[in-house]
Structure 1
């Protein structure tokens, strides 16, 4: 059987990053280093030289090539040589057809979803204890592959990567779509449509690209003395791009000590793309520490993670997304904190990988933020509060975080089980990160961000997937359950008043409440008072509701979310529906909604909405007895047509007088039955 190479996904000298790269080299930890002869390295830079390949195949220890070990025998060498000949012929054919002009953005763009001959072994079907069908990819006998290397009929090294060193060192790959030939532009656009990131650029980058060691000196000096149990690393995916998924897996193996990785479990949530079926089985089959768990039907992120957790054999579970890159030294700091205290739940610093260029953007320790939330129960990032910013060992020591984003974290399997795992009543995704965050703190654990651990993540601007679910709005369903179970009677109404709902929408939550009761977990008020005192409580307001101008009867109106930051305030006919016209006046004289405040400092004389900074100044408004919203000698003023709101010199006119309920916000809406 011929080994077919996946083309242009692997750089032949990737095992040895360029020696002059700033920050030192970062080769795979476990493979013996092999210096590839220049004429083989240059195969993807100039004329093809299959004779040179034949000459050196016997001289190179094939077990140490870029994709890991292949049996050092004549058949594999011949297969590799044949595949190189085929790829070279295909390249020449493409060049002859002028697929890309010589001065275009790239020559010979990648073949997406490369064909791979699949193994013939049948998959083993099974059903988990909740009745969810799945199957495991069968493992090859251990003696045929080492822990971090490829098996006998996995792909050989691809010598034809082009262009060389695209994206190396985490650099950006900039592609001008307008310079692509029509066929390649179509691939570019299809990649963006299917993935919500630049999959075309990703396919230009080695799946084992070099990243510099970004650890700060204080992190390099840390001594991790604890015994570390090896981790089961769980990655869930659905229709993920080939290059991105492979890069995620390789970054784990290349930048982790072998003894710290017990297994990598890939959970396929019913992908429909061909490259994630048998080709993926073939690619991963030779990696002894990789398991593939396949859901028989779409589960969504939450249940897919539970499939992975149940298949895991390690004492420590690490959950990662399928579009990440781990950096050098990422794993030890996470495992060390859990070894110190089994109830610690820890998250790495999440660096941003550009969705357009795949550039890796490193966040220095002094700039990292911690997680919070608002009363729509949406996760928010916040600066580290002073009480934690001044902790011993700052800025590189572990820092408490009230909540986590939820995509990347490490947890003891025993502690996760004690907390009741995720709520099995949740659908698809959403709320699970806050549920686990709240339960961790309230039930005896601690949630921390670890500044010495960095993992890059591609942040999409939209989800490219669709779901068929029981609930019309799965996120709302999950959040209703979260509020009812965790927030308690005192605080759940802050969420309930924001949504129209029926009690039947959340389903039965009695078993979830029982878990918190049996564990003697602290109430949610304890969490707010001790872990997140910075959270604004709507009930602490001194005025609430709409802000209505007494002359025009128009209300102050503006959306408040990150994508609409610094948007100008407008006047709009009052609609008595809350939403964009609902405001709270805090005890510190901020006009706010959740974490967003009215602000006069960005585009005077206009008023904008921006993140609250708790410093007064341009966010301080005095609601006077004359019904003015006053800041210094200026008053909030509406135009005569009721559409424009600005700050003008106070003059006592009705255009500067506003009606607002001078009472704290008291939630009271009840659910429909």
Structure 2
């Protein structure tokens, strides 16, 4: 009897325990993970965040409530006027320089960061910037009811002052009721001051800001996903770790998302000079694009885009570093492909998904954000030894580009043929599930003018290979491994003049520019004075500073309008542009290969244009 009673008690206890376990498990499943608990993220395998996200956020984007007639001027006029009155080093975004600096220390800090970090440390963390918006933006109103934002800023070994200046610029120029949080994601930085010192400083002086730390170096893509995972606001904004938003930057960026939760919006990206920290405009707008090596390019604005220069316009491709997107929409698209590693290709993948899967992408002219484009040095260490970049490209192409992927592959057939893109099952299933359109639709409806600027099958180069000075003892034009806006020069020629190494492999392309064959950099001359320097600059396809012709008879490389020619300074191993002179033998150059047929056609076309202009 006692044995039977004990057995009943044991069975009852087991039943109760099982019931409690089921209730506990079910309640957790219903409630979902606690996204606000940092311990949860420390326990997760961050590499699989996109897969986890796809399971958790498997729902349609939230629709925001708004009255299209209820508009508001979001400017903080008092703060705006105080900022415009500030004076000091670098204030109003003026170019700055140090007085009697320790030059060696300055150079060392510059090489470590790719910008003048020593100068940055002397500029206020709360510095003002120039209001370079279109005048129409100043009086423009936006929805009075806008959703809150979480701003995700990944960083790796960023210098102290630009990182903190990014945070203070956001806090100073963002309506506090719209800013829910700033999430700094540390991609396993090695600099000591980015550890405990940063934690203490942020906790004391940088409100609404917290730090998420990755356990190992994982790259930009995983870092962004880690930040997006912990974000709690309805809209995600991704920034780089060296930015300075301009006045009233946020409302024009998120107003289109409040109206259409499947919109992704990018700000105009202004330039913060890496040497002087001058804040200036990059341009007044262009549409994002790509060439068939997956270099980011830009297309001119359309006629309708120019009718109202304060209105957001459609753009095929994002630059990738700075953009806003609804949190639900981001996760409906699967975030980023979990197989993309470190950086590269993610902006194309997300852009294609947005357009092909029912969204739209806009650039907002009234939202401007300054960004430091690094100069020489400052290249971040790479934790990988494999070719992750082209593997990323191949993953994007295999999933999203359909038959157009072959145009990418034909640029570097040997490289792509050897690469294994990895398992694409989940990405292809996502495309099928969302019933996304074809890449042909994207090219015809969204990027319809891209093939005019960047044809899938390019016309042949007019000339290519090494460019050798005819009067030298075998000296060729060489990049000298310089960065943008740095002068190129002369260096002993490669043994193979037709197919030289990348530093000397130039092409006089059908765009009529002199470009590096393996990169998107061109020879640029910004001035037409005597001994004008020749620098390396990103190719822009707009002629002007980058317009070149080759005169086969005189062996001249003719710049611009036709009055200036490239000249070799053999003593100093430099090149300049001076007025063309038939008696100057140092203006004679030979290419490794010359396409005389193409050059002959170019002369015919030039003659025809001259006759038409004469009419």
Return the TM-score normalized by structure 2.
0.65
Q: Distance in 1 between matches of 2:265 and 2:446?
A: 16
1:352 Cα deviation from its structure 2 partner: 0.9
Partner of 2:246: 327
Deviations 1:234-270 (A, max 9, x none): 1111122222111111111111111110111111111
Match of 1:373 among 290, 295, 300: 290
Match of 2:153 among 224, 235, 238: 235
Match of 1:258, SS state, is coil
Report which stretch shifted further, 428-437 or 328-337. 428-437
Partner of 2:213: 294
CA contact (8 A) 1:589 1:622 kept: no
2:214 is the alignment partner of 1:285 = no
CA distance in 2, matches of 1:266, 1:491: 36
Aligned mates of 1:378, 1:420 — CA distance in 2: 24
Q: Which residue of 2 aligns with 1:72?
A: none
Inter-CA distance 647–410: structure 2 relative to 1 (3 Å threshold): farther
Q: 2:186 aligns with which of 237, 254, 268?
A: 268
Per-residue Cα deviation, 1:134-187 (whole angstroms, up to 9, x for no partner): 9xxxxxxxxxxxxxxxxxxxxxxxxxxxx98222222222125xx33xxx4444
Q: Structure 1 residue 448 and structure 2 residue 362: aligned?
A: yes
1:449 deviates by 1.4
For structure 1, which segment, 192-201 or 332-341, has the greater mean C-alpha deviation from structure 2 after superposition? 192-201
In the alignment of these two chains, the number of paired residues is 485
* 3-state DSSP of counterpart to 1:478: helix
User: Residue 612 in 1 paired to residue 612 in 2?
Assistant: no
Matches of 1:206 and 1:405 in 2, distance apart?
Answer: 28
**Distance (whole Å) between structure 2 residues aligned to residue 206 and residue 465 of structure 1:** 25
Provide structure 2 residue ranges, at least 5 long, that are not aligned to the other structure.
Answer: 1-37, 50-85, 467-475, 529-533, 553-561, 563-574, 583-589, 599-615
Residue 346 of structure 2: which of 432, 435, 456 is its match?
432
Q: How does 1:472-551 map onto structure 2 within 5 Å?
A: 472-498=386-412, 500-501=414-415, 502-532=417-447, 533-535=449-451, 536=453, 538-541=455-458
CA distance in 2, matches of 1:457, 1:403: 18
Distance 1:566 1:464, change over 3 A: closer
Structure 1 gaps, min length 5:
1-122, 135-162, 550-555, 624-632, 634-643, 649-654, 663-673
Pairing 1:130–2:45 present: yes
Q: Secondary structure at the match of 1:259?
A: coil
Q: State the Cα RMSD in Å.
A: 4.9
Distance 1:418 1:124, change over 3 A: closer
Q: Deviations over 1:245-298 (max 9, x none)?
A: 111111111111111101111111111222211121112224552121111111
SS in 1 for 2:365: strand
CA deviations 1:386-407 (Å, max 9, x no partner) are 43543x422x211222222211
Check conservation: 1:545, 1:582, Cα contact below 8 A.
Answer: no
Give, in angstroms, the shift of residue 614 of structure 1.
8.5
SS at match of 2:118: helix
Structure 1 Cα separation of the partners of residues 486 and 119 of structure 2: 30
Report the Cα distance in structure 2 between the residues aligned to 1:325 and 1:481, rounded to whole angstroms: 33
The verdict on how the C-alpha distance between 1:543 and 1:515 changes in structure 2, with shifts beyond 3 A counting, is: same
**Bigger helix share:** 2
Query: Aligned match of 1:248 in 132, 147, 166?
Result: 166
Q: Specify the alignment match of 1:39 in structure 2.
A: none
Alignment partners' CA distance in 2, 1:301 and 1:481: 17
Deviation at 1:659, TM superposition (A): 5.6
1:307 aligns with 2:223: no
> Do 1:264 and 1:290's aligned partners in 2 also have CA atoms closer than 8 Å?
yes
Q: For residue 354 of structure 1, what is the aligned residue in structure 2? A: 273
> Structure 1 length normalisation: TM-score?
0.60
Q: Which residue of 1 aligns with 2:96?
A: 173
Give the deviation of 1:224 after TM superposition: 0.7
Task: Give how far 1:426 is off.
Answer: 1.6
What residue is the counterpart of 1:193 in the other structure?
111
What is the CA–CA distance in structure 2 between the aligned matches of 1:388 and 1:565, rounded to whole Å? 37
Q: Is the 8 A contact 2:271 2:279 kept in 1?
A: yes
* 1:246–1:613 CA distance, 2 compared to 1 (3 A): closer
On the 8 A contact 2:111/2:378 being kept in 1, the answer is: yes
Structure 1 contact 228–335 (Cα < 8 Å) conserved: yes
Instruction: Identify if the C-alpha distance between structure 1 residues 495 and 388 changes in structure 2 by more than 3 Å, giving closer, same or farther.
Output: farther
